[in-house]
Amino acid sequence: LAKTTQPISMDSYEGQEVNITCSHNNIATNDYITWYQQFPSQGPRFIIQGYKTKVTNEVASLFIPADRKSSTLSLPRVSLSDTAVYYCLVVFTSGTYKYIFGTGTRLKVLA
């Protein structure tokens, strides 16, 4: 199975756009990419999912290039409450389904 890696941490200022990249260099055509936000001692919360090109919802966008070796979560105009750990998760859909988390990125939003 592909290993998914993310930057360990990032800092940003309020109002800025934040882009967090996940590397997953060996995923199959129908494998899915999902992203989660986690606050301390809480369960991860689903943000967005997709498997190709671009997906946008009310809180984020997900960009997946044609080679699908990486994906980027984009958070527009972050606020202090967006300080959290962000995980990508690849869903391997061939045969039995395995949901494998990336290493997580600790985002700190500064005033």
Partner 1 sequence: EAQVTQNPRYLITVTGKKLTVTCSQNMNHEYMSWYRQDPGLGLRQIYYSMNVEVTDKGDVPEGYKVSRKEKRNFPLILESPSPNQTSLYFCASSTIGQGSGYGYTFGSGTRLTVV
**How many residues of this chain bind partner 1 (CB under 8 A)?**
25
Edge-first strand order for the sheet with 70-75 is 4-5, 18-24, 70-75, 61-64, 53-56
Site string for partner 1, 60-99 (x = CB under 8 A): ---------------------------x-x-x-x--xxxx
CA–CA dist 60, 48 (Å, integer): 7
Q: Which is nearer to partner 1, 45 or 54 (CB)?
A: 45
Shortest Cβ distance from residue 111 to partner 1 (Å)? Answer: 27
How far apart, in whole angstroms, are the C-alpha atoms of residue 84 and residue 48?
A: 16
Residues in 19-38 at the binding interface with partner 1, rule: CB under 8 A? 30, 32, 34, 36
Chain length of the chain: 111
Q: Does 104 bind partner 1 (CB under 8 A)?
A: yes
> What phi-psi label fits residue 82: left (phi over 0), alpha (psi between -120 and 50 degrees) or beta?
alpha
Chain residues in the site for partner 1 (CB under 8 A): 30, 32, 34, 36, 41-46, 49, 51, 87, 89, 91, 93, 96-104
